[in-house]
Amino acid sequence: MEERIATVVKNAGSHYLLSELPAWEPFPAVLRGKVRLQKSSATNPVAVGDQVRYIPAAAGCYVPQGETLQPAIITEILPRRNYVIRKSTNLSRQAHIIAANLDQAVIAVSLYFPEIKLPFLDRILLTCEVYKIPALIALNKVDLYRGEAPEAVDEFRRIYEGAGYRVIETSCKTDEGIDALRDACIGKLSLFSGESGVGKSSLIKAIDPSLAPKIGQISLAHLQGKHTTSLYEMYKAADGYLIDSPGLRGFGLVDLEKEEIAKYFPEMLRVADECRFVPCTHTHEPGCAVKAAVEAGTISAERYNSYLGMLEEDGKFRKSFSH
């Protein structure tokens, strides 16, 4: 039977849903065994957003008990133009691909409920820079804290807009910023990622109320989100495609030479050529333009401290960051 090409729109462990985009007619598929072995270096050989070759299910084939459709067979994962990847936080330290072939990443954060961890956010942003995925930040739940902590909101915007990222203040309760976020997703495949409980699924539903991603409550005991999305799933919105992902509580960075880290801080890269010494680690060298910019306030101390923290990690990021 002739092979065809489709996009992975849902990952449920060893089972997948595919669709031949732009048509939206998802159908089940499984992975041919030898493909799984070829991709054994990652915990998931196939990611949402992957383009794959598949053999359609043959009419009259045996259908396993409890199933309604005979699955197609994925025979090949086509080359990815980009992806978001993180180091697993378990002892195996295997890499896990979150999503592939993205037009942008929407990093959802909340200053409070749950409380933000800036080094965690910086690791996600750095990964997007490494794999050339444009990123914007949705500063969510502003209705809960902007009135009480306006200085904290302004400071967050100063840090990340100063680094070169777009920040959209959003509230699913009041719909603030939802139109701007919806416009930013038009015609794009967008990954929604971030810590547990920041409201990724709620933002997706606010963008298109016809969608039905799972939405959970915050754990009041720890002010951390409970994992309500356990699967990676793409949704077709009115004017684009949105990927919902499980909330993250740790983000380990995949192998990267320490000397490369500064290249992926846009605000540091802008001034690095002015350093007296090249290469420069931006830590102890005299005449360092990056340190001068931090002292002048044009590069935030918070982002610089995140950079120093990454340098202190084991050689090639063999430790995972977890809070």
What's the token pair of residue 227?
């994992």
Residue 114 sits in the same domain as residue 71: no
pLDDT tens string, the chain, 323 residues long: the values are 689 999 999 988 778 999 999 999 999 999 887 775 555 456 778 999 999 999 998 644 444 555 556 789 999 999 999 998 877 655 456 778 889 999 999 999 999 988 999 998 999 999 999 999 999 999 999 999 999 999 999 999 999 999 999 999 999 999 999 999 999 999 999 999 988 889 999 999 999 998 876 544 333 333 333 334 457 899 999 889 999 987 665 555 666 788 899 999 999 999 999 999 988 999 999 999 999 999 999 999 999 999 999 888 744 433 333 32
Residue 98 sits in the same domain as residue 189: yes
Residue among 74, 39, 36, 37 nearest 54 (CA):
74
> In the chain, what's the furthest Cα-to-Cα distance?
74
Report the CATH number that the domain containing residue 277 is assigned in CATH: 1.10.40.50
- Residue 254 has a pLDDT of 63
Residue 204 sits in the same domain as residue 96: yes
Report the CATH number that the domain containing residue 233 is assigned in CATH: 3.40.50.300
- Residue 248 has a pLDDT of 64
Instruction: Confirm whether 320 is domain-assigned.
Output: no
Instruction: Confirm whether 215 is domain-assigned.
Output: yes
Domain boundary among 35, 51, 77: 77
Q: What is the pTM of this model?
A: 0.84
Residue 37 sits in the same domain as residue 99: no
Q: How far apart are CA 18 and CA 30, in angstroms?
A: 10
Residue among 199, 234, 248 nearest 11 (CA):
234
- Residue 258 has a pLDDT of 84
- Residue 222 has a pLDDT of 35
Instruction: Confirm whether 216 is domain-assigned.
Output: yes
Residue 93 sits in the same domain as residue 240: yes
Residue 144 sits in the same domain as residue 211: yes
Residue 131 sits in the same domain as residue 150: yes
Residue 115 sits in the same domain as residue 185: yes
- Residue 89 has a pLDDT of 53
Using an 8 Å Cβ cutoff, are 287 and 275 in contact? Answer: yes
Domain boundary among 244, 271, 293: 244
Query: Residue 302's domain spans which residues?
Result: 258-312
Residue 9 to residues 76, 77, 86, 98, 257: CA-CA distances in angstroms? 16, 14, 20, 12, 33
Using an 8 Å Cβ cutoff, are 76 and 50 in contact? Answer: no
Using the 8-state DSSP alphabet, how is residue 154 labeled?
Answer: H
Residue 291 sits in the same domain as residue 210: no
Instruction: Confirm whether 284 is domain-assigned.
Output: yes
**For 34-100, what is the HEC assignment?**
HHHHHCCCECCCCCCCCEEEEECCCCCCCCCCCCCCCCEEEEEECCCCCEEEEECCCCCCCEEEEEE
DSSP string, 194-258: EBTTS-HHHHHHHH-TT-------EETTTTEE-----SEEEEEETTEEEEE-PPBSB-BPPS--G
> 3-state DSSP call for residue 125?
helix
Helices (H) and strands (E) in the chain, counts: 9, 15
Instruction: Confirm whether 323 is domain-assigned.
Output: no
- Residue 224 has a pLDDT of 39
User: What letters, b where the CB count within 10 A reaches 16 and e where it falls short, cover 282-317?
Assistant: beeeeebbbbebbeeeebbebbbebbeebeebeeeb
Domain boundary among 195, 210, 244: 244
Report the number of distinct structural domains present in the chain: 3
Residue 119 sits in the same domain as residue 266: no
- Residue 165 has a pLDDT of 98
Rg of the chain, C-alpha, whole Å: 21
Residue 62 sits in the same domain as residue 120: no
Residue 126 sits in the same domain as residue 161: yes
